[in-house]
Amino acid sequence: MLAPLERRAQQQVQALLGALDAPRREALLAAMSTIRDAFVPRAEADTVVLRSHEPGDMGWVVERHGVLYFREYGWNAEFEALVARITADFLGKFDPARERCWIATRDGRRVGCVFLAAGEAGTAKLRLLLVEPEARGLGLGGRLVAECVSFARAAGYARIVLWTQSNLTAARLLYERTGFACSGREPHRSFGHELIAETWELSLVPSASATSRAAAAAER
For residue 112, the model assigns a pLDDT of 98
For residue 121, the model assigns a pLDDT of 86
For residue 206, the model assigns a pLDDT of 75
**Second CATH level (architecture) for the domain 2-219:** 3-Layer(aba) Sandwich (3.40)
In the chain, where the domains are located: 2-219
pLDDT below 50 — which residues of the chain? 2-3, 42, 208-220
Q: Do residues 124 and 157 make contact, with C-beta atoms less than 8 angstroms apart?
A: yes
pLDDT in tens, 107-139: 999 999 999 999 998 999 999 999 999 999 999
pTM of the model: 0.76
Specify the DSSP element, H or E, that contains 136. none
The amino acid occupying position 203 is S
For residue 37, the model assigns a pLDDT of 52
How far apart CA 39 and CA 92 sit, in angstroms, is 42
Q: 131 vs 45, 72, 104, 166, CA distance in Å?
A: 13, 13, 9, 18
The amino acid occupying position 173 is L
Q: 109 vs 56, 80, 129, CA distance in Å?
A: 13, 21, 17
For residue 28, the model assigns a pLDDT of 65
